[in-house]
Amino acid sequence: MKNIITLFILLISSYSHISFANEADSTTVRFTVENAWIAEAPPVSKVMVAYLTINNQSNQAITIVKAESDLYSSIEFHETVHENGLARMVRYSELLVPANDNLELKRGGKHLMLFNPTKRLKIGDTVTIRLTTADDTFKIISVPVKKVQY
Ligand SMILES: [Cu+2]
């Protein structure tokens, strides 16, 4: 009986929160990520922004359909567009990375919009983000918080 209770507690604790830290990328993942960083934001900020370059090393386009982190309530795919001298953000449901090509998320363009940080994130902190593709592979990346260089 004692063993059963212990097992039960172990099961509960392993499902009680999402944590990607000990998870490995799925083996069939067809892309790599470089130059990933999160722009430091003021402590009161409810949103932060991440930039990265996704390299598709395969002969087929890759669609990123989801980005998640246990340090944010949600992550959206955005692009800053300029129209009539005004900047606004467009939201996408997915990101397309062409075959044998890169998708660059960079300042003034496409980015990950990170909502409601669950703790104060300072320069040097690292955020784990999980990217999931339409064919259900995923990659887990470590993204450092950095100071914005103007
Ligand atoms: Cu945005």
Give me the domains of the chain, ranges plus CATH numbers. Answer: 23-146 (2.60.40.1890)
Distance CA 38, CA 114 (A): 9
Question: What spacing in Å lies between the alpha carbon of 89 and ligand 1's midpoint?
Answer: 6
Question: What spacing in Å lies between the alpha carbon of 5 and ligand 1's midpoint?
Answer: 46
Q: What is the predicted pLDDT for the residue at 19?
A: 67
Distance CA 31, CA 138 (A): 9
Q: What is the predicted pLDDT for the residue at 150?
A: 78
Question: What spacing in Å lies between the alpha carbon of 78 and ligand 1's midpoint?
Answer: 5
Question: What spacing in Å lies between the alpha carbon of 79 and ligand 1's midpoint?
Answer: 6
Query: For 13, which DSSP code?
Result: H
- pLDDT band per the 50, 70, 90 thresholds, residue 27: confident
Distance CA 92, CA 45 (A): 22
Question: What spacing in Å lies between the alpha carbon of 65 and ligand 1's midpoint?
Answer: 16
- pLDDT band per the 50, 70, 90 thresholds, residue 63: very high
- pLDDT band per the 50, 70, 90 thresholds, residue 36: very high
Any idea which residue has 């339409």 for tokens? Answer: 134
Q: How far is CA 132 from CA 12, 67, 127, 140, 148, in A?
A: 25, 6, 16, 9, 27
Question: What spacing in Å lies between the alpha carbon of 57 and ligand 1's midpoint?
Answer: 27
| Residue type, position 43, single letter | P
Question: What spacing in Å lies between the alpha carbon of 80 and ligand 1's midpoint?
Answer: 7
Residue 11: strand, helix, or coil: helix
Cβ within 8 Å of residue 18, ≥6 positions away: 68, 70
- Rounded mean pLDDT of the chain? 90
Question: What spacing in Å lies between the alpha carbon of 27 and ligand 1's midpoint?
Answer: 31
pLDDT in tens, 87-115: 999 999 999 999 999 999 999 999 999 99
| Residue type, position 57, single letter | Q
Question: What spacing in Å lies between the alpha carbon of 106 and ligand 1's midpoint?
Answer: 11
